[in-house]
Structures are given as C-alpha cells and as structure tokens.
Amino acid sequence: MKDKKLYLLTYDHGGYVLWKDEVKPRLKDIAVWMEIYPKLKIGLDYESFTFDEFSRCDPEVVDMIRELLEKYPDRVGLGATTYGQPLSLTISEESNARQLTYAVRTNLEYFGKTPSVYAISEYALNNQTPQLLKLTGHEAAIFRSHVMGYGYPRTFDSAWGRWIGKDGSEIPSVPTYDKEGRGFNCTTLDNWIMSRWPSDHETVQSVEEFSEMFEKYSPLLMSRYDDLTQPIEDFTKMTLEKDNCQYILLEEIPEIYGKAEDELRTTDNDFHIQMPWGYCGNEIFNGVRAAEAASVQAEKLGALASLLGAPSFKEKLDEAWKYALAAQHHDVTICGLLDLSRRFIPTSLAASDSVKCEALNVIENYFVDGEGEALLIVNTHSFDVDEWLEVKASDRYCVFDGDKKVESEIIESGDGYILRVHAEIPAFTVKNYSLVAVNDEEKADSVCSWDAATGELTTPAYRMKVNEKGIVYLESVKDNCRLIDNGDGELFTACVEDVNYRSEGVWNINISAFGAVAVQNGEIGGIPYRFEMRFNSDSLRIDCKSHFELHGEHVGRTGVFNGLMKSLTVDGHRHEEKLNFVLNTCLEKSRKMVRDLPYSICEWSGDVRKTEDYWYDKDFILVDTPVSAEESFDSTTYMEGIYGIWLRDTQKGIAVFNRGCMGSLIQGNRVEIPLLYSNLYMCGTRILDGVYKSEFALSTFDSTVSEAQIQRSAYLYNYTPSVKVVANGSTDCFSFADFRVEKGEILMTTMYCDEDDILVRFCNYSDEDGIAYFKPSIGNVTDETDLLGKKIAEVKDNTLRFRPWEIKTIRIER
C-alpha cells in the first residue's frame, strides 16, 4: 500500500477579491519554494479578474506571475478557469458562459496560455458544465468542489470517468470519490489533509490513511484548492520525501489517466446549494442580477445597432461584463464585501447604460422618417411580447398603433410624467407607436374595482381580499377558484430581536383605467415598510416591490436549529424566521416544485437537507434519496431558481419570479421568500442600516402552460423590451430576423458583436430534439461556433437542429 503511486495536485485559492494583500507575499514564497523543492509543482487558482485589476493597481503582481509561469512552465500552473470565481447556480445562463470565455481570453492576453483542465475551489459546477466546458475548449475536469461551504455535487465510485451532463455532452473527469466528502460547511477530505496536516494531525487523517481509505481508486489523486494563506510548507516537505508521492499540474491529468471509461452521469438535482438569502438586505444579490441582465440587454441592442452600421461597442461591453462577473465572485456575495460590490456593480451598470443609450440612438436614427413623436420599442427576444412598459415622458400622450388606439395611461411624477403602454411586439422586432399629445387624459372606466367595505380588489384576472394583516386570499376570476389562502391575513413574518412578528399595516388602493396598485404601509417588529402590488388589466403577472427601513435591528435567529444549539455555520443559511414574504398556495398534495437553472429547467426532488454538521464517517447516511411528491409535501425544503420557482398541480400553479433573491422556503403549500437577514454570520456579520428594496412578481397559470413557457415569462420579467420616446419616429414595424420554432422549446439567450460579425446564442429548453429556422434581415448566417467564436460546423438553409438542452451559437456575417 505504501508503494502505490499517489498524485498530488495543489493550487492556491485566492486572487484580487478578498486576498488582494496576500497575493504578492505568497508569490514570493512560491519563488523560494521552486528553488529549494525541485520536485514541487504548484498552481495559482486565481480569478482571471485578478490579472486585469492588478494590471491597473499593481502591475508588479502580474509581472511576478508571468515570471513564474515562464521560468517554471512545467512546475507552476495557471489555474484561473473562471473570470470571477462565481457560485454557478446563482448566476444566469449567459453569466455562466461568460465566466468561462472571459477567463480564457484574459489568460491568453496576459500569459499566452490558459488551463485545459477545469478545476475550482468553490461551487462553480452545474449540470450544463460539461457542455460549456466542451464549448470553451477544455479537455478534462476535476469534478470536485474542494470547499463546500455553499454547495457540493454528488460523489462517484470511480477514479476517472466521463462526466455526462444535461444535454449528453461528456468530458473526462476526476470525480469526488464516495466518502471523500460531501455536505455543506466542509471540504473534501484530501483538501483538508493537504491544507492542515501535519500541524493539525490530531484532528485529521494522514496521507497514509487517505491512501488506505481510497485504495481501490487508481490513479489516486489528492487535490487541494484552498486559501493561499494556509501554511502548507510542512506538508510539502513531508510529502516530497515520500517516493510514492508525485506532484502534478492540471495539464498532466489526461495523459496520466488515459481514456475515460466509467459513466459519471448527473442530473440537475445532483448539485446542491445553500446561500444566505437576505444577507446584506439582498443588496448584492439584487445588484448582481441587475448587472448581468443589463449586460445582456446592452449587448443585444449593440448587436442590432451594429447590424445597422454602428461600431461594435466592444470596449464598453467588456467593461460591463467584466465588472458584472467580478461582482458574482463567491466572496463578494457570501462575505458581504460591500466595498467591492458598490464599486463593481455601478461600474458595470454605467457601461451597460452607455451602450444601451448609444445603440438606441442608432436604432432611432434608422427610423427617423416620420412627422411626429413616437414611442420606439425594441423587442430583442426570440418570442412575441405582450407587456406593459414604462417610459419617462414630457407631456400627456395617447398612443396609437396606426389608427388603433393602444391601452395606455399617464402617471404624474416629480419631473414630468410616466407613460405606461400595453405593447404587443413580435419577436426580433423594432416597432414605433405614434404619440398624440392631449390636454387632459380621457377618463375611461376602470377595468378594476375596489370595495373598501369588504377589502376586495377585483381585476379582469383576479379577486384579492386584503386586511391590516396582509393578503387574505387571491382568486382566479376566469376559473372562480382560490389560488392563495392566507387564512385571516398574512404578508410578512420575521424574527426581530428574538421575537417573532407578523406584519400589519394600512392599504391604499389606486384604481386606474387599465389596472390597479395596492400599497400597504406598515411595520413589522418596529421596522417600517412599504409594499406595492401592481395589477395590469388582464395580465396574470402581479409585480411586487418591497421597501424596508432598518436601523440596526437584529433580524433572524442565530445559534438554534431544530431546538438544539448549533455553530454559526447555520446562521444565515436557514431561512426560517428571516424577514420573509409569505403566501399559502391552494394546490393538491401531489403538487410539483419546479425551478429554472443555468440553461435548464427541472423539477426539484424535495431533498429536505439544507445544512448540517458533517462528519466523514457518516457520508453514506447523507446519500440523497429521491422522495415522492407526498413526502416532499409534508417536509420542509429550500428551493432556488435563477429567474423563478413555481409550484403546480394537475389544474393550476403559481410562480414567483425574482430579480435577485433566488431562494425560497417551502413547507407544504406555504412559500416564503427571504428578503432580509441582519444577524450573526460566519463570513462577516452585516447589521442593516438604511433602506432595502426588493422586486419580485407573482404569476399564475393553468395546466396547459408548459414549463418552458413559465420560464420564458420569468425571463421576460428580468429582460423587458427597451422603450424610448423619439422626436420623429415612423410608424413602421421592422423585423430584424425571421425566427420560427418547428420543434422543441428554443429560446435565444443573447446576441452580441464578435470582431466583425454577430454571434447569436440559443438553447433548447426541452427533453426532445429541436428544430428552428433563423434568418436575419441584415447579413447571413454562415456557421455554428463554440462559445469562443471558433467555427464548429456550417449552417445550411438557416435551419438549426438541437439535441435536448443543447446550447448552440451561430454567426451572422454582416
């Protein structure tokens, strides 16, 4: 046993974010170690943002890295496989793609090389990772989350195999071995040993014990991706003296392991995550979503403007994306690094806004051939949009589509007016509505009614009863059935200063011609709030906004879990007793829980485990066991969705769409959305002081609506069409692409400039093969590319064919 070869992979986890002042001292240590330990090989697990940021603030750091890589090309490795070290299940589909592409391009720019094997310290793994890695040129992967405070994947009884993801893409991978480690708030066993033994030899196993535990796996790999501040020199010296220990770099793994035979097949529910939703008042989570959504919006408008003759906006879009990706860094979000988030997110948003404004000006000029004011609306989605939009206006207007008057209304604001218009825009279309100034807005009868005596608001879609405690019930007018039943009334619950409270307040209902706004002003545990629900004519979506003012109150409980004292590792992760929005749905016990994930939609298994103490000898007790719908109904679970979560039975369903807070607590038919947590927290307590806002939406649907249609609605909530009042817009409707889906559920996720061409990305959100026809009005579709713009295949007759869940990028030559 002692003579069996043991491969050691050690990479320093760090970079500019969190570890800014520790990078240079560690690089100096590595330079010394290279001289005194000639058999040592070590890698740098930095986010690629590190190289951009240090090149601006301390170029010597980049020079030191470059010197090490050039002087010891076979002994010092580059491990930067993502641009911003995100937790990949909490960022959007396009953000997942860009974390990889910007890493590759940044690494090549500075060092002329980039890792060919994907590996990470913290949880940048999901069920579409194999496909994304294949599309960015990676040859293999270490399928391990070495530090599992916020997420972990399943384990496998295999040394090396083909990791097969959602769409069937596969990539050779070293998995996390069975019993090697899985569970929140721990690391893999080898990572722990390599970071803490022999100095902590009384509490962890030795290298020899690890080798004995995993003797059946060959080749056998111990890997460490942990903090660069750890004193690993004693471990290094000890292992370098052992003849059977051999240090390697990522690039050596494919040759050492050879052909991958075993199947490592995963499902969406094999990837577990916990996040401190409500932490920092969700300021960072909401800001990250705003930045990533704005980057996509800006690049799509920029691509359209480029098709019309504008330049590519590359410099500004790179800035928007890079700072959005940096804000997604796990330490920014889980350690509440507000100094960085308040720099990264506004910088990203400013760059996106600049591109959006310039692009809209280009698009506007393309349509300046009319005689009067118009409303320019750009729908860059691949699906038709039926949506209420808002825009600032200088006057009162009526809106016309040709001779047809369009539903619209004016809201007075401090510096003018807000024009709200009900827009119906085909996919890939720029449309102008004509505007006619009016002295007085016509007073049309409202489609809504409010009965103050009974507390019942009726809209074309809903009946909602409210009282001082909150929402009593919500019913469907069409089906005359109850959707939400909150008993005697409920809106928010919270534990404030160790006392549980329910909110109370006074409602004010404002009825307009085509909708209603219900506002409750109240308080919960002494915390004042304003909650708004907007109903738009017969729309099934109810847009909600919350506004809380805190001054140092402690929100949420700490130290107690299921009646027992626990460590701080659970604080912030358990959502019970945070300040939560509450709704009690009226669904059958067999109801399903569904969520959307990066390039995916899936039914949640109802795994009831959220966070737990972890001991390696209990690993098999923690094996996930799928549970039935009825079992999941009777349990408590947390469910996260990128754009939304929804519950549905055989007849109806209800969805919660979000703009940043992606978490939920589900207990039977009760759904709670955590909005605020302000209490002790292991990665940095942040007691809230100020105003904290959140936006989310409720939407209902019937049994005929598919999961992809619901996901599309959630997507639209985050990516609303762009709208602008223009001086001389025509009334033309310009379609910049002919797009038809013949089979499957195919959605365009973005389009953007790539050098002189335009890249357009789609995903088939379906379990069946997909076929779509896409023909741009300007330019020609020439080929299919990978995520880096490299040609994969030709596209014939503008027809795109998809595997289930396949991501496909095509090129338009201008």
120-178 confidence digits (pLDDT tens): 999 999 999 999 999 999 999 999 999 998 999 999 999 999 999 999 999 999 999 99
Q: What is the pLDDT of residue 416?
A: 83
Amino acid identity, position 712: R
Q: Taking 80 as the threshold, does the pLDDT of residue 704 lie above it? A: yes
What are the tokens at 656? 């919660």
- Closest by alpha carbon to 310, among 366, 374, 348, 369? 366
| Confidence (pLDDT) at 442 | 61
Residue 184 — pLDDT band, cuts 50, 70, 90? confident
| Mean pLDDT for the stretch of residues 238-266 | 97
Q: Which residues have CB under 8 Å from 87's CB, separation 6+?
A: 122, 123, 124, 150, 151, 273, 275, 328, 330, 333, 334
798's tokens = 């503008």
CA atoms within 13 A on the CB side of 27: 23
Residue with tokens 């006392």: 499
* Mean per-residue pLDDT over the chain, rounded: 93
12 and 26 Cβ atoms separated by less than 8 Å? yes
Q: pLDDT tens, 734-754?
A: 999 999 999 999 999 999 999
> Closest Cα to residue 175, out of 217, 133, 138, 210?
217
Q: Decide: helix, strand or coil at residue 737.
A: strand
SS3 content of the chain, % helix, strand, coil (to 5): 25, 40, 35
β pairing state of 462-467 and 456-458: antiparallel
Query: What backbone torsions phi and psi does residue 684 show, to the nearest 5 degrees?
Result: 130, 100
Asked whether residue 596 carries a pLDDT value surpassing 60, the answer given is: yes
536-to-422, 460, 695 alpha-carbon distances in Å: 9, 9, 16
Is the whole-model pTM more than 0.85?
yes
CA atoms within 13 A on the CB side of 547: 9
In percent, the amount of the chain with pLDDT more than 90 equals 86
Supply the angle between the helices 93-111 and 314-327 in degrees, to the nearest 10.
110
Task: Tell me which of 409-423, 557-571, 700-714 is least confident.
Answer: 557-571
Q: Residue 497 carries which side chain, given as an amino acid letter? A: E
Phi-psi group of 797: left, alpha or beta (phi > 0 → left; psi -120 to 50 → alpha; rest → beta): left
Note the pLDDT of residue 623.
Answer: 43
Tokens of 804: 């289930």
Query: How would residue 558 be classed by pLDDT, with cut points 50, 70 and 90?
Result: confident
Q: Report whether pLDDT(609) > 80.
A: no
Q: In this predicted structure, which of 313-317, 360-364, 613-617, 752-756 has the lowest mean pLDDT?
A: 613-617
Q: Is the separation of the CB atoms in 40 and 12 below 8 Å?
A: no
Taking residue 127's Cβ as centre, other Cβ atoms within 10 Å add up to 25
List, for residues 75-109, the tens digit of each pLDDT value: 999 999 999 999 999 999 999 999 999 999 999 99
User: Residue 376, exposed/middle/buried by CB under 10 A (0-12, 13-18, 19+)?
Assistant: buried
Could you give the CA distance from residue 428 to residue 646 in angstroms, rounded to a whole number? Answer: 28
Q: Determine the Cα–Cα distance for residues 788 and 653; give it in Å rounded to an integer.
A: 39
pLDDT higher than threshold 60 for residue 612 = no
User: pLDDT band at residue 626, thresholds of 50, 70 and 90?
Assistant: low
AA letter at 646: W
Per the CB < 8 A criterion, the answer to whether 69 and 79 are in contact is no
Is the distance from CB of 793 to CB of 782 less than 8 angstroms?
Answer: no
The Cα–Cα gap between 616 and 529 comes to 45
Single-letter residue type at 76: V
Please say if the pLDDT value at position 262 is more than 50: yes
Amino acid at 6: L
Q: What is the pLDDT of residue 504?
A: 98
For residue 700, what are the contacts with CB-CB under 8 A and spacing of at least 6? 476, 483, 540, 652, 653, 654, 655
Locate all alpha helices (DSSP H) within 37-128, ordered by sequence.
49-57, 59-71, 93-111
Alpha helices in 503-617 (DSSP H): none
Residues 610-621 as b/e (b if ≥16 CB within 10 A, e otherwise) read bbbebebeebee
Express each pLDDT in 31-69 by its tens digit: 999 999 999 999 999 999 999 999 999 999 999 999 999
- Distant-in-sequence, close-in-space partners of 671: CB < 8 Å, separation ≥ 6: 582, 583, 584, 585, 645, 647, 654, 656, 664, 665
b/e map of 704-742 (b: 16 or more CB within 10 Å)? ebebbebbbbbbbbbbbbbbbbbeebbbeebebbebebe
Give me the mean pLDDT over the 219-239 stretch: 95
Residues 557 and 575: their CA atoms lie apart, in Å, by 9
Alpha helix (H) ranges present in 328-460? 330-334, 338-366
Of 174, 158, 191, 177, the closest CA to residue 252 belongs to 174
Please provide residue 133's backbone torsions phi and psi, each rounded to the nearest 5 degrees. -65, -40
d(C-alpha 271, C-alpha 280), whole Å: 25
Q: What is the pLDDT of residue 567?
A: 55
What contacts 24+ positions apart, CB below 8 Å, involve 501-509?
501/525, 502/469, 502/470, 503/469, 503/470, 503/529, 504/468, 504/469, 505/468, 505/529, 505/531, 506/468, 507/455, 507/466, 507/467, 507/468, 509/450, 509/452, 509/457
The answer to whether 710 and 646 have CB atoms below 8 angstroms apart is yes
pLDDT of residue 490: 98
